[in-house]
Amino acid sequence: MKRNRTWKTVLGILLIAFIGIQFIRPHIPNPPATGRPDVPADVEAVLRKACYDCHSNEVHLAWFDQISPAIWLVANDIRDARKVLNFSAWDSLPKDQQNAKLFECLNQATFKEMPLPQYVMLHPSARLTNEDLAVLNRYLSTQFISARPDSHKVAVANAQYAAWQPSETGKNIPPAPNGIAFLPEYKNWEPISTTQRLDNGTMRIITGNDVAVKAIREGHTNPWPDGATFAKIAWDELVDSAGNITTGEFKQVEFMIKDSRKYAATKGWGWARWKGMQLKPYGKNELFTMECVNCHQPMKDNDFVFTTPLQLSNK
Ligand code: HEC
Ligand code: HEC
């Protein structure tokens, strides 16, 4: 009898506390949208269904999101999400960065980093289907076609090739801000893959050193062995009237050097990038590697490498 009464008291107190905390509610400001992405309706529909609840000022919360303490977590996510990407303030992004942002969105969505998995669990209607991803992909492809080169770009590319002696590079090239030295030998490494970046019209070749190629042949790619090194070289992509694709102006070359101990602080990889014909080291200070690591984060279960073994597994 007595025990029963104690339990009732405890439950009563909990119930009152639960009702009480309902009055402690975070404020989620929803100022009017100043500018949304200027994209076709099907693209907008995908973003609305999967992303707008966090990345916009047009938030539609489910009833169970609005109960404290759930609402506290939701409000936190929304605050953090808007900081990095807010579709309702799209016009605050410079034009050239808008497509780059959408490309990043496609990446995050393709590798199932976004929408946040715990959110999808509770909101199954926000799950992206393959068709949704195809919608995003198709749209970014058309953006790419409109970025096709003009004669100026072709002239720049030709002038550059005439002037640049690839065999001379490697001399007098300053190291990256994190101390990593330029690796001119990347040009002799084996090509592993080529990719296109749809939003900014570049093509890239990814090459790997001997250690990387041996690891691919032997299937030891996750994790990659120490010493494995990749280069990714990017050029403008030029398409002539017959549809042939060639490399245009050289943009940059970047490296990932595996050394699980030396580079433990940056996920086991040394990151470095040199830009333009002058091969200027990229980054104001060594914190530039955070940019690399963050964008490669969706591949954390693949040792942070995007390219392989997808493309070489059948070799
Ligand atoms: C439940 C809330 C939520 C939803 C829904 C959501 N996101 Fe996010 N997103 C976040 C949060 C929180 C962050 C900041 C995370 C961080 O970096 O810790 C974020 C970060 C991002 C970033 C920046 C990543 C980076 O690290 O630079 C991109 C891009 C992004 N989201 C795209 C999307 C896209 C595209 C969708 C829809 C397909 C989407 N998100 C849906 C919460 C959400
Ligand atoms: C905006 C996102 C993003 C950022 C930032 C980024 N990468 Fe990548 N990186 C990619 C993607 C996507 C690939 C896959 C190949 C492709 O699509 O070109 C890739 C591929 C690579 C590769 C080839 C190996 C692989 O993972 O496939 C190297 C090397 C590389 N990146 C180096 C760097 C370095 C160094 C930095 C920082 C200076 C950096 N990346 C920053 C997205 C990014």
Atom of ligand 1 nearest to the CA of 109: 38
Q: Which residues, in sequence order, are CB contacts of 45 under 8 Å at separation 6+?
A: none
CA 138 to ligand 1 centroid distance, Å: 21
pLDDT at 161 over 80: no
Instruction: Please tell me whether the peptide bond between 29 and the residue prior to it is cis, using omega within 30 degrees of 0.
Output: no
Q: Check if the beta carbon of residue 66 is closer than 8 Å to that of residue 75.
A: no
pLDDT at 14 over 80: yes
pLDDT at 199 over 80: no
Q: What does the CA dihedral 39, 106, 251, 202 come to, rounded to 10 degrees?
A: -70
HEC string of the chain?
A: CHHHHHHHHHHHHHHHHHHHHCCCCCCCCCCCCCECCCCCHHHHHHHHHHCHHHHCCCCCCCHHHHCCCHHHHHHHHHHHHHHHCCCCEHHHCCHHHHHHHHHHHHHHHHCCCCCCHHHHHHCHHHCCCHHHHHHHHHHHHHHHHHCCCCHHHHHHHHHHHHHCCHHHCCCCCCCCCCCCCCCHHHHHCEEEEEEEECCCCEEEEEEECHHHHHHHHHCCCCCCCCCCEEEEEEEEEEECCCCCEEEEEEEEEEEEEECCCCCHHHCCEEEEEEECCCCEECCCCCCHHHHHHHHHHHHHHHCCCCCCCCCCCCC
> Domain 151-302 has what CATH class?
alpha beta
pLDDT at 21 over 90: no
- Min mean pLDDT across 83-97, 101-115, 119-133, 146-160 is at 146-160
pLDDT at 118 over 70: yes
Residue owning the nearest CA to atom 12 of ligand 2: 306
Instruction: Name the band, by pLDDT with cuts 50, 70 and 90, for residue 84.
Output: very high
CA 186 to ligand 2 centroid distance, Å: 16
pLDDT number for residue 190:
87
Q: What does the CA dihedral 166, 172, 178, 179 come to, rounded to 10 degrees?
A: 110
Residue 299 or residue 312, greater confidence: 299
pLDDT number for residue 312:
43
Pocket test for ligand 1, best of 60, 93, 114 (most atoms within 8 A of CB): 114
pLDDT at 71 over 60: yes
Atom of ligand 1 nearest to the CA of 77: 12
| Inter-axis angle of helices 130-146 and 41-50, nearest 10 | 130
Compute the chain's Rg from CA coordinates. 25
Domain ranges within the chain, ordered by starting residue: 28-144, 151-302
Other beta carbons within 10 angstroms of residue 204's beta carbon come to: 21
With tokens 């025990």, the residue in question is 3
> What's CA 96's distance to the chain center, in Å?
16
**Is this model's pTM higher than 0.85 or not?**
no
And the tokens for 298? 């969706």
Mean pLDDT throughout 125-145?
84
Distances (CA, A) of 307 to 30, 144, 312: 40, 21, 9
Q: Check if the beta carbon of residue 186 is closer than 8 Å to that of residue 274.
A: no
Closest to 211 (Cα-Cα) out of 181, 180, 190, 194:
190
Q: Check if the beta carbon of residue 96 is closer than 8 Å to that of residue 73.
A: no
And the tokens for 253? 């070359």
CA 7 to ligand 2 centroid distance, Å: 58
Residue owning the nearest CA to atom 33 of ligand 1: 114
275-308 residue pLDDT tens? 998 889 999 999 999 999 999 999 999 999 988 6
Is 305 near ligand 1, meaning CB less than 6 Å away?
Answer: no
What's the rounded Cα separation, in Å, for the pair 226 and 229?
9
